[in-house]
Amino acid sequence: MKMPVRTGTHIEGVHWIAEYLEATHQIRVFRGGRVVDTIAAPAAMFGEERDAGSASDAASRAEEAAPLAFLRRYVADVQPEE
């Protein structure tokens, strides 16, 4: 089994992490080290490179970029303005 794809960022002073679990096709969202949500990953989470089994550096960057983009959208959509 492949390791989870995990990426994080600071948004408005809070550390957020998105962890994609390939086995369940879910994304766990962490805020400040605690799980705040588990969401089914979008069907188009990764491009054709992943389906082709590409092991290139570009494919690896895409694997990290997709959960990061999801995380940024999640925070923008879900978190109320303070």
- The pLDDT, as a whole number, for residue 82 is 45
Distance CA 8, CA 60 (A): 15
Instruction: Tell me: pLDDT of 66 over 50.
Output: yes
Token pair recorded at residue 75: 């925070």
What is the DSSP pairing of strand 14-21 with strand 26-31? antiparallel
pTM as predicted: 0.71
CA-closest candidate to residue 31, choices 40, 23, 19, 20: 19
Q: What is the pLDDT of residue 1?
A: 43
| For residues 55-66, average pLDDT | 63
Q: Long-range contacts for 59-62 (Cβ within 8 Å, ≥24 apart)?
A: none
